[in-house]
Amino acid sequence: MEIADMLKQTPLLAEMSDAHIGELAPSTRLETYRPGHIILREGHAGGAFFLILSGKVEVVKGSLDAEPEVIATLGAGDFFGEVAIMKHMSRSASVRAVEETKCLVIRRLDLDFFIEQYPVIAAKMATAHSAKFGGE
């Protein structure tokens, strides 16, 4: 399956035209993470946005060495990394794979450009984030 087809099947981008998806596809890559892999680290710079195709991740706050607080579990169709991208700040939480997880990864600069052209995507991200994390 082509990257453009995978992007089109994600709920966040499902309403975008094929032409718009075609603009985003070249800057998107498919990554697979093994269980236990730390995909993002709290406090680090936000360099990418992630759309989950399959698998499951935990969003955690606090030290990963101790017992971090699990604030959300995300699966296929969900996304993460949007806060650091949209607010141009460091990561507010860590994300680790619970099981083998496949994600579409979009670099920050490419997503910034895409959101600039299609602000409806930013609005959808903000709405989904508020629903998942209570406006945090």
pLDDT digits (tens, 9 = 90+) for 93-120: 899 999 999 999 998 888 888 888 888 8
| pLDDT at residue number 129 | 63
Amino acid at residue number 119? P
Domain that residue 70 falls in = 3-133
Give residue-wise pLDDT tens across range 38-75: 999 988 888 888 999 999 999 998 866 677 789 999 99
Domain of 39: which CATH number? 2.60.120.10
- The mean pLDDT value for 8-22 works out to 85
Contact 102, 53 (CB under 8 A): yes
pTM, full prediction = 0.83
Amino acid present at 77? G
Domain count of the fold of the chain: 1
